[in-house]
Structure 1
Amino acid sequence: MRNAVILIAVALGVGGLIYLAGGGMDQITLWAQGAQRGFQDQMALGLRALRAGQPGALATFWGLCFAYGFVHAVGPGHGKFLLGAYGAGSQAPLGRMVGIGLASSLAQGLSAIVLVYAGVLIFDASREAMQITGDIWLERASLIAIALIGLWLVSRAARKMIRQTMAAPVIVSDQNHGICEECGHRHSPDMHEVARAQGWRDIALLVGAIAIRPCTGALFVLILTWRMGLVWQGIAAVLVMALGTAAVTIAVTATAVLARDGALDWADKLGRARAITPVLEGGAGLFILFVALNMLKIL
């Protein structure tokens, strides 16, 4: 069963890359932009119905917010590219990457809430000022942070390659501790300790880089609901929208992780799993760096 799932993930990953390379991203972008405009119009109508106290208006509005978050994530966005590439290039397990996908989407919603309510309650900022802050300055800050993550992954992969080349042979015990063959002592943390340390640090970096830039749709909803006096309804709507975004991000990330596992299983059969791991991480870092710098040029 696991092999079948991995095979499907590899096929989806390869097919997706071929589709994007053939100009599919432009088609997806046009579709997503049109869908988002349509959902924004529907959300505005839903807010009027909610303010008028129509039955079922709140559930309908939240459903529209979830759908908006979903189609927003389908379009060109750096969050799914970052987590998908990281999942493909790292050794992070599937469960951790799913958690990161959910946490980053919710954190992005929370950043929108903080921006809007800090803007209106503390700085008395206008709608235009908040949208410029979110769409330009915070977008740039997020992309710069993502580019730095890509550069960091490349450097980390390079260090691993150098260590593999220069390290003395090790004896792997039953506890997976690396013991030097020359002196019989342990000179470094074992693989599980390193994975735990890198795991928490990586989670903080990934979630933070994505959360810096709030979703435009979330700003739209929060500003309108604040003006209408529907504060808690708007905050809840943004969190529901974040769940819609998370659905796409998690799907992309899970596909990347399963495809990575398939590649590592294949490399392990050839006895090359240890050598291919830093190659995957370095390739993921280069991809992240390229996407972030390319999007920065567009801004």
Structure 2
Amino acid sequence: MRLNLAAIALLLAPSAAWAALVPGGGAPAGGDMLPEPLRDLAAWVFALQRQLTGEMRQHLAAMKETGSWEPAAAVMLAAFLYGVFHAVGPGHGKVVIAGWFATRRARIVHGLLASLIAAMVQAVSAIAVVAALAGVLALAPRQVMSYAGWLEVASYGLIAAIGAVMVWRTATGRGCGHDHGHDHGHDGACCGHGHDHHDHGRSDRSERDALFGMAAAVGFRPCSGAILVLLFTFANGMYLTGILATLAMGLGVAITVATIGLGALGLNRLIGRLFGTSSLGGKIRTVLAVSGALGITLLGVGMLLGALVNGPVLTG
């Protein structure tokens, strides 16, 4: 199941690039850019998202009309499920994180933390945007969405920059792209050079910090669905409910992204078991690490250029 989810994430990468490069953003209508096995899945996911959005609006309207907090639980559940299925659709976040774990060794706990960081930064970003632009500056919803689009541009730039650093570190032997959480001695099995355990510790910390920085860069771009919920609740004096719903949405996103990321990590571990610590295995891991970092860099650059050419538009 994990490998299937990782495969889905990689197959959705072209649609993520399409969403950034084509004016108007978003996934192509009907999922026409996806292979046939995934087209129906994408259509089902988008339909379910619309249904969940409608349910959230209904429950929020009931809260406003009755003044009761009873519908709040239903709002949180709908928001959580929205986050789970929203993260299944096309988007650069899970592609970046899955690309990292498919090509670099990492600890499972770091994978879980990275997914949580990406989702929670995205949720907090949406909350801060609405609080600042709608609350403090009193901008109209359309203006809020327009300004929020610039955070998406910044996210793409950060992803490209961190990816470039990863390429440089891996190509120069400063980042091995695998963890050293066990006692072992090898000489050049990964990076093609000898290093001691102090180097291992520094490399581990650098890889972890780069991973968490990448996760934060992915989440820096707020979710348009969360912003719409927050704008509705802000306009109707229920902003606290909107905040809680956004955090529930972020938790749902984290679960899906973590599942996809761990599936990619499992694929990476399988490659490690097949080739062990042999010289060939070290070369394969280095090639994967460089390729993954380069792919993340190119994805970030491509979407950054697309956003600058077409204008900042929050795509999802």
TM-score relative to the length of structure 2: 0.76
Q: Which moved more, 1:207-216 or 1:33-42?
A: 33-42
Q: Which moved more, 1:272-281 or 1:16-25?
A: 16-25
User: Aligned-pair distance for 1:178?
Assistant: 8.1
- 2:9–2:98 contact (8 Å) kept in structure 1: no
- 2:274 aligned with 1:266, yes or no? yes
- 2:99 aligned with 1:91, yes or no? no
Correspondences of 1:180-195 after superposition (within 5 Å): 189-195=198-204
- 2:229 aligned with 1:221, yes or no? yes
Distance 1:17 1:60 in 2: 33
Q: Determine the structure 1 residue equivalent to 2:132.
A: 118
Q: Determine the structure 1 residue equivalent to 2:243.
A: 235
Q: Determine the structure 1 residue equivalent to 2:256.
A: 248
Unaligned runs of 5+ in 1: 1-7, 164-173, 180-184
Distance 1:207 1:15 in 2: 20
User: Aligned-pair distance for 1:206?
Assistant: 1.3
Distance 2:169 2:3 in 1: 25
Q: Determine the structure 2 residue equivalent to 1:277.
A: 285
- 2:234–2:242 contact (8 Å) kept in structure 1: yes
Q: Which moved more, 1:95-104 or 1:34-43?
A: 34-43
User: Aligned-pair distance for 1:64?
Assistant: 0.7
TM-score relative to the length of structure 1: 0.80
- 1:10–1:262 contact (8 Å) kept in structure 2: no
Q: Determine the structure 2 residue equivalent to 1:157.
A: 170
User: Aligned-pair distance for 1:91?
Assistant: 2.2
Q: Determine the structure 1 residue equivalent to 2:95.
A: 81
- 1:100–1:207 contact (8 Å) kept in structure 2: yes
Unaligned runs of 5+ in 2: 15-33, 177-181, 188-193, 311-316
Query: Partner amino acid for 1:160?
Result: G
| Larger radius of gyration between Structure 1 and Structure 2 | 1
Correspondences of 1:7-86 after superposition (within 5 Å): 9-10=2-3, 13-14=6-7, 17=10, 23=35, 26-51=39-64, 52-53=66-67, 56-86=70-100
- 1:109–1:238 contact (8 Å) kept in structure 2: yes
- 1:176–1:190 contact (8 Å) kept in structure 2: no
Instruction: Assess, with a 3 A threshold, how the Cα gap between structure 1 residues 275 and 284 changes in structure 2: closer, same or farther.
Output: same
- Give the root-mean-square deviation of aligned CA atoms: 3.1
- 1:157–1:281 contact (8 Å) kept in structure 2: yes
Distance 1:96 1:191 in 2: 17
Q: Determine the structure 2 residue equivalent to 1:3.
A: none
Which of residues 150, 154, 166 is equivalent to 1:141? 154
Q: Determine the structure 1 residue equivalent to 2:114.
A: 100
User: Aligned-pair distance for 1:239?
Assistant: 0.3
Distance 2:9 2:215 in 1: 24
Q: What does the per-residue CA deviation read over 1:116-173, in whole Å, with 9 as the maximum and x for residues that have no partner?
A: 1011232222211111122x3222221222222333322222212999xxxxxxxxxx
Q: What does the per-residue CA deviation read over 1:199-239, in whole Å, with 9 as the maximum and x for residues that have no partner?
A: 12431x21321222101111011111111111211111100
Q: Determine the structure 2 residue equivalent to 1:166.
A: none
- 2:233–2:239 contact (8 Å) kept in structure 1: yes
- 1:150–1:286 contact (8 Å) kept in structure 2: yes
